[in-house]
Structure 1
Amino acid sequence: MLTGWEPFPNGGSLTEVDIKVQLKASIKPPFDDGDSLSYFLSGKQQYDDLRRETHASPLILAVLFLPPKAEDWLTHSHEQLVLRKCAYWVSLRGAPPTDNHAGVTVKIPKNQVFDGTGLMKLMASISRREIPAYKAPTHRVSHGD
Structure 2
Amino acid sequence: MTEQKKARQVNIRPVIESSFTECMEQLQEGYVFAVAATAGCTVEVTKRDIYGTDIRIIRPAAEVNGEEITVLAQLKNTTTVRPDPQKDFFSYQLKKREYFDKLAMPRRGPKAILIVMATTPVQADWTKGSHESLELQYCCYWRSLEGETAADGVKSPTVRIPTANVFDASALTEILDRLDREEELV
- Bin of the TM-score, shorter chain as denominator length: 0.7 to 0.9
Give, as a single letter, the amino acid of the residue that structure 2 aligns with 1:49. Answer: K
Query: Does the CA contact (< 8 Å) of 2:78 and 2:119 recur in 1?
Result: yes
Q: Counterpart of 1:122?
A: 175
Match of residue 140 from structure 1: none
Range that drifts further, 51-60 or 75-84: 75-84
In the alignment, is the contact (CA less than 8 A) between 2:150 and 2:157 conserved in 1?
no
User: Secondary structure in 1 aligned to 2:94?
Assistant: strand
Matched AA of 2:125: D
Q: Which has the higher helix share?
A: 2
How many angstroms does 1:76 deviate by?
A: 4.3
> Retained in 1: the 8 A contact 2:94–2:157?
yes
Aligned length: 127
Quick one: distance in 2 between partners of 1:63 and 1:101?
Answer: 20
SS in 1 for 2:91: strand
Give the % identical residues.
31
Bigger proportion of residues as strand: 1
Residue 13 of structure 2 is matched in structure 1 by none
Q: Whole-Å Cα distance in 1 between the matches of residues 108 and 118 of structure 2? A: 27
Aligned residue identity for 1:4: R
Structure 1 gap ranges (5+): 8-13, 134-145
Shift of 1:34: 1.2
| Structure 1 moving runs of 4+ over 6 Å | none
Say if 2:75 is the partner of 1:20: no
Distance 1:84 1:55, change over 3 A: farther
Aligned counterpart in structure 1 of residue 161 of structure 2, from 92, 102, 108: 108
Partner in structure 1 of residue 117 of structure 2 = 64
Once the two structures are superposed, what CA deviation does each residue of 1:85-117 show, in whole Å capped at 9, x if it has no partner? 111000010001332443111100111111111
* Alpha-carbon contact 1:44-1:100 (below 8 Å) kept: no
1:141 aligns with: none
Please list every run of 5 or more consecutive structure 2 residues that lacks an aligned counterpart in the other structure: 1-55
Please provide the CA RMSD for this pair. 2.2
Instruction: Compute the TM-score of the two structures, normalised by the length of structure 1.
Output: 0.76
Q: Give the distance between the partners of 2:68 and 2:107, measured in 1 at CA.
A: 20
Residue 70 of structure 1: how far off its partner (Å): 1.0
How does the TM-score come out when normalised to structure 2? Answer: 0.61
Which string of whole-angstrom CA distances, capped at 9 and with x for unpartnered residues, describes residues 44-92 of structure 1? 1111111010351010000010112111112346753321111100001
The aligned runs of 1:1-145 (5 Å cut-off) are 1-5=56-60, 15-30=67-82, 32=84, 34-54=87-107, 56-76=109-129, 80-132=133-185
Question: Is the 2:79–2:118 Cα contact (8 Å) retained in structure 1?
Answer: yes
